[in-house]
Amino acid sequence: MQLLPSPILPVREFLKAEHGTTPQKLRLLGRMRRNLRRVTSASGFLEQLFMVTRILNLDAPGLVVECGTYKGASAVNFSLACDLVDRQLVICDSFAGLPKPSDRDRTHSTIDGMTDDYEEGWWCGTIAEVRSNITQYGAIDRCSFLPGYFEDTLSRLSEPIALVFCDVDLADSLRTCLKWLWPRLVDGGVLFTHEATQREIFSIFSDQEWWYRELNCEPPGLVGGGSGIGLYPTHRGYYGSCLGYTVKSPAVTWARRIAGAEALSSI
């Protein structure tokens, strides 16, 4: 089954975002596309556009935090969005590649039978590379850096956080990010993960035992868990991506089913 390309809806939603004028958004859109030709990226254009749209729609105060930046391509584009809406971006990374994976974290699997392997030192971008890329193509004045492994650094973040992007690959690293960042995430804040298709990652967001033990709350679930949110056509007959997200304490809107309303009106 061949699916058609699907950029129209994400672009339309980006142009409808609450903050920024249409000319500002069009300039940002063009710069984002050019930047992804200039800087090696682990995430795709539509994935980054989806997250930038959320940044432009944020109302609650707080930082934007990226955990795992590789060469800084996503950070470049996030910094431009933060500059447009007057927010600060904190970039957290070892800048030495992945830590050594545990045996259980070395190979991840997806629900459609694919696997991803990880080794110590993979996905390495130095702080000099990342800083240079943001200086050339982004808004370096909006950025601060927190170098080191997450278990040693994330406890230093004390300000409210409005949006988090975790592209950390390892389940143990994601748990560390959640342990330190979820309590700082404001109500209505959004946390993205870039490994939403992997069982070892998306299962964390429904692990009641872990969430109650570490954070004393219900697991929030993950939009896009298993397939990723539907941004790209796949050869397996559905739209997907590597991106998933969850919202902390989302506002609840009750919707009345049409059939139910009709039944009530007939009583």
CATH number, domain with residue 99? 3.40.50.150
pLDDT score recorded for residue 234: 82
Residue 191: inside a domain: yes
pLDDT score recorded for residue 264: 41
Residue 3: inside a domain: no
249-260 as b/e: b if 16+ CB within 10 A: eeeeeeeeeeee
pLDDT score recorded for residue 262: 44
Q: Among 199, 164, 3, 20, which Cα is nearest to 91's?
A: 164
Residue 242: inside a domain: yes
pLDDT score recorded for residue 255: 56
pLDDT score recorded for residue 228: 96
Extended beta strands in the chain, E state? 63-67, 89-93, 107-109, 115-117, 143-147, 161-166, 185-193, 232-233, 239-240, 244-247
- Residue 226's contacts (CB-CB under 8 Å, 6 or more residues apart) are 110, 111, 196, 197, 202
C-beta atoms surrounding 67 within 10 Å = 26
Residue 34: exposure state from Cβ atoms within 10 A (0-12, 13-18, ≥19): exposed
Residue 69: inside a domain: yes
pLDDT score recorded for residue 6: 60
Residue 232: inside a domain: yes
Residue 1: inside a domain: no
What domain range includes position 22?
Answer: 8-265
For the whole model, what pTM was predicted? 0.92
pLDDT score recorded for residue 114: 87
Q: What is the dihedral of CA 118, 121, 125, 127, to 10 degrees?
A: 140
Residue 2: inside a domain: no
Asked if 42 and 123 touch (Cβ cutoff 8 Å), the reply is yes
Residues with pLDDT less than 70, the chain: 1-6, 253-267
Asked if 96 and 127 touch (Cβ cutoff 8 Å), the reply is no
pLDDT score recorded for residue 36: 97
Task: Tell me which H or E stretch contains 260.
Answer: helix 258-265
**Domain total in the chain:** 1
Task: Tell me which H or E stretch contains 46.
Answer: helix 45-57
